[in-house]
Amino acid sequence: MYLVVGLGNPEKKYFNTPHNMGFAAADRLADKLGAEFIKGECKAVTAHAKVNGIKAIIAKPVTYMNLSGEAVVELCRKYKVEKGNLIIVYDDTDIPMGKLRIRAQGSAGSHNGMKNIVQLLGTEDFPRVRIGIGKDTPMARIDYVLSQITDEDKALLDPVLDSAAAALYEFVHGAPIDQVMQKYNPTAR
């Protein structure tokens, strides 16, 4: 069983913001798998799919970003997700706009949603897909990540969201995270 968790904020006013790139990537993965977000469970809305006979759940926590770990922990417990079969996708201001970075494990960095997940899971040992939203802006970080995405930024983010969904698709089809990293991290190209 695989669990893919996209991070974001649930209210409609946040849908087109840099901080909701995890939700956007989760939506694109669900489309690729023919799954719909129709089930509310474990403080998340989920889409369920079968991939080569194995269950894949895509989740978008409804706890708001900073409490994302609550949904992740509940889903991991409910579905007995094995180590290595959980992957988180989220925005990262430390990566340039429109770039993608995949890691097998690591710290939460400056991302509060990831800090909460790491704290509640008690480990940093799980894969993650980071979507770059970083750019020079006079705005405070919190104001920027919750601002509306410009058309110029959308043009940079659309291809990286497609790449993120493709990487997640390969992951839930059983590709080892190292193989996914080699294929989708920019140094591999």
Whichever domain contains 88, its CATH number is 3.40.50.1470
The DSSP call for residue 153 is H
For 50, how many CA atoms within 13 A lie in the half-sphere containing its CB?
2
Q: Is the pLDDT of residue 15 over 70?
A: yes
pLDDT in tens, 119-155: 999 999 999 999 999 998 888 989 999 999 999 999 9
**Catalytic positions, written as ranges:** 19
Reported as a pLDDT band with limits 50, 70 and 90, residue 187 is: low
Reported as a pLDDT band with limits 50, 70 and 90, residue 188 is: very low
Q: Which residues of 127-142 are buried (b: 16+ CB within 10 A; e: fewer)?
A: bbbbbbbbeeeeeeee
**Span 21-35, average pLDDT:** 98
3-state secondary structure of 47: strand
Domain that holds residue 44: 2-188
For 136, how many CA atoms within 13 A lie in the half-sphere containing its CB?
0
Distance in angstroms (rounded) separating the CA atoms of residues 183 and 141: 31
Record the pTM: 0.95
The first and second tokens of residue 185, run together, are 């991290």
Total domain count, the chain: 1
